[in-house]
Structures are given as structure tokens and as C-alpha cells.
């Protein structure tokens, strides 16, 4: 009797061992098929997007250091972009291979471009200076005076600027000494005051540890989207600047994400500097 029980136990153990041998175990919580690799987990993405499935548009060599992108509300088919080294505003249709530009300034570390009230371009330099000029320069040609606001923002390093429909500019600091141990991010609201001159209207804090490289607001949800290229992360915040979600960016796909914009349909555009390859724009369609 005892011998029969022993044989039953041996047979049962053999069946169990065969089952797990077929799976070869688990790796980080994922079943690994026999002879294969771990099945990939779905990429975590903000609602309405798939960060693993963009449409990719390769840009030209002059835009190797593309650092900011935006759209006019009245013309969502034309992308406007700047790159870090030269004072040129590029305007183009993705995919047609032509990249004309208008010059607005000399050499400098330009980091982002925004459109204010659909009438003016505002370019942000990394030292907190702003350069303002009419949309007509790019759309219709001709010359116009560029208004400069040297060091209008407090001392620090800046890469993020957004112009809203209420005639305000929002700038986030990438590195500011006043941000306690880099566990918070300073934000500034600017608008026109007396004499049609830009001035800071408000200062606020975002309670999170990151270094923003670009900023945009979703046209449908009104949430804030920003990217920290240093951390390779996309962050979504609500209207009160509270973090709602953080999404890791694949470093193979997102070589150096420095620009972020939405068209009026909610499609998301992320530009990457060239680095050792070609610069590009990744387009993520929005599905409600």
C-alpha cells in the first residue's frame, strides 16, 4: 500500500514539473514561453494615446537641434519650430520635405516657441529672455521689429513656454535655485500690462521632482502635458498643476524629446533632436 502511494506521488510531481517546464517560469511577472522571450507588457500611455505606435516624420539637417514646436489655431496644418543655435523660425508641412524659415534674431540658446492669442510668436531663450514678433513675419514675409524682454524671468534655466487663448504665457523653470532641493518646479504667468509690455503676473509651484523640457495643454481635456527629457518621462497634470499620471518614454523611440504640441483635434506631436541620427517628429493620434 505504501509503495502504491509513493508511485502516485511521483507521477503527480512529474505532471506538475512538466507543466512548469513548458512555461519555463516567469520573468518580472511575465510568462516566458518555452524557447522564447518574455512576452512584452503593454506600454503605459495617457488616455486616448498609444506611446508605442507613432507616425514618424524625419526632418532636415538644419533642424538637428529642434527645441520647440507649435501650431496656430487658425492653421493647424503648418508646424512652426525653432532650433537651439540660430534665430530662425521654421514653418513646414510634415512630410513634404521643405523647411523654409524666417530669421528673428542672432545666435543664442533658444529653447521653445509659443503663439500668443494667435497673433504673435514668442520665443524663449534658456536664460529667461523672451522675443516677440508678429505672426505675419512667417505667414506673409516682410520685416517687423522684434521686441526683446531680456531676463524677464527670474534667474534660472528655462526650456518650457506655452501661450493660452486668454492672452497669457506660462513658463516653467528647468533649473531654479529657489526650487527647494529640486523637489518642486517654479512656474510663471506673464501677460501684457501698461504700454503693451509683458510682465510677470503670477508665480506658482508644481510639487514634483522633474526638469521640464517642453509644455503644452491638451485642447480637449485642458490637462497640462510636459516632458522631462532628462528623466525620459511624459507627465500629465490637471488644471491646478497636480500630477495625474507619469509615463516612461522608450529611449530608443524618444532619442531626445524637446518639443511638444497638440493640434486642435487633440493629436499629439513630440519632436526629438537628432543627436547621432536624424531629428524627427512623432505623431500620436488621439482616440476619445
Question: What are the pLDDT digits (tens) for 214-261?
Answer: 999 999 999 999 999 999 999 999 999 999 999 999 999 999 999 999
Lowest mean pLDDT among 94-98, 178-182, 257-261, 270-274: 178-182
Q: Which residue pairs from 194-203 have beta carbons closer than 8 angstroms and sit at least 24 positions apart in sequence? A: 198/130, 198/132, 198/149, 198/152, 198/169, 199/152, 200/152, 200/153, 201/168
CA distances (Å), 61 to each of 76, 97, 98, 279, in order? 24, 11, 11, 7
For residue 110, which of 92, 94, 128, 97 has the smallest C-alpha distance? 128
DSSP symbol at 255: S
Provide Rg for the chain, Cα atoms: 25
In the structure, what pLDDT confidence band is assigned to residue 37 with cuts at 50, 70 and 90? very low
What's the confidence (pLDDT) of residue 10? 37
Which residues, in sequence order, are CB contacts of 30 under 8 Å at separation 6+? 38, 39, 40, 41
Residue 107, pLDDT above cutoff 70: yes
Give CA angle at 167 (165, 169), nearest 5°: 95
Query: What is the rounded CA–CA span in Å between residue 73 and residue 38?
Result: 45
Query: What is the rounded CA–CA span in Å between residue 141 and residue 231?
Result: 39
Residue 278, pLDDT above cutoff 60: yes
Choice between 162 and 275, residue whose per-residue pLDDT is larger: 162
Residue 112, pLDDT above cutoff 80: yes
Residue 17, pLDDT above cutoff 80: no
Residue 164, pLDDT above cutoff 90: no
What are the backbone angles phi and psi of residue 113, rounded to the nearest 5°?
-135, 140
Choice between 134 and 30, residue whose per-residue pLDDT is larger: 134
Query: What is the rounded CA–CA span in Å between residue 7 and residue 102?
Result: 85
Query: What is the rounded CA–CA span in Å between residue 186 and residue 226?
Result: 14
What's the confidence (pLDDT) of residue 7? 38
Choice between 100 and 166, residue whose per-residue pLDDT is larger: 100
Residue-range domains of the chain with CATH: 2-31 (no CATH), 55-284 (2.120.10.30)
Query: What is the rounded CA–CA span in Å between residue 172 and residue 226?
Result: 10
Residue 92, pLDDT above cutoff 90: yes
Starting at the earlier edge strand, list the strands of the sheet with 224-228.
214-217, 224-228, 233-237, 243-248
In the structure, what pLDDT confidence band is assigned to residue 75 with cuts at 50, 70 and 90? confident
Contact between residue 160 and residue 169 where contact means Cβ atoms under 8 Å apart? no
What's the confidence (pLDDT) of residue 159? 97
For range 90-108, the mean pLDDT: 92
Amino acid at each position: 500500500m505504501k509503495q502504491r502511494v509513493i508511485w502516485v506521488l511521483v507521477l503527480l510531481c512529474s505532471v506538475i514539473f512538466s507543466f512548469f517546464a513548458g512555461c519555463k517560469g516567469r520573468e518580472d511577472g511575465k510568462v516566458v514561453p518555452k524557447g522564447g522571450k518574455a512576452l512584452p507588457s503593454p506600454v503605459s500611455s495617457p488616455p486616448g494615446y498609444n506611446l508605442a505606435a507613432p507616425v514618424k516624420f524625419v526632418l532636415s539637417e538644419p533642424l538637428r537641434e529642434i527645441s520647440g514646436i507649435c501650431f496656430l489655431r487658425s492653421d493647424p496644418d503648418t508646424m512652426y519650430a525653432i532650433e537651439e543655435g540660430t534665430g530662425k523660425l521654421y514653418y513646414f508641412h510634415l512630410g513634404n520635405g521643405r523647411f523654409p524659415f524666417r530669421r528673428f534674431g542672432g545666435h543664442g540658446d533658444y529653447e521653445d516657441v509659443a503663439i500668443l492669442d494667435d497673433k504673435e510668436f514668442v520665443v524663449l531663450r534658456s536664460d529667461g529672455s523672451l522675443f516677440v514678433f508678429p505672426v505675419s513675419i512667417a505667414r506673409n514675409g516682410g520685416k517687423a521689429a522684434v521686441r526683446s524682454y531680456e531676463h524677464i524671468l527670474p534667474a534660472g534655466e528655462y526650456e518650457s513656454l506655452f501661450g493660452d487663448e486668454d492672452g497669457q504665457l506660462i513658463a516653467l523653470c528647468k533649473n531654479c535655485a529657489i526650487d527647494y532641493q529640486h523637489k518642486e518646479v517654479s512656474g510663471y504667468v506673464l501677460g501684457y500690462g501698461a504700454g503693451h509690455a509683458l510682465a510677470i503676473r503670477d508665480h506658482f509651484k508644481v510639487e514634483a521632482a522633474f526638469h521640464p523640457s517642453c509644455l503644452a495643454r491638451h485642447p480637449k481635456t485642458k490637462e497640462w502635458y510636459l516632458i522631462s527629457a532628462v528623466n525620459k518621462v511624459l507627465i500629465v497634470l490637471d488644471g491646478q498643476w497636480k500630477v495625474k499620471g507619469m509615463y516612461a518614454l522608450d529611449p530608443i523611440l524618444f532619442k531626445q524629446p524637446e518639443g511638444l504640441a497638440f493640434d486642435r483635434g487633440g493629436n499629439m506631436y513630440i519632436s526629438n533632436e537628432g543627436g547621432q541620427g536624424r531629428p524627427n517628429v512623432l505623431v500620436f493620434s488621439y482616440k476619445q
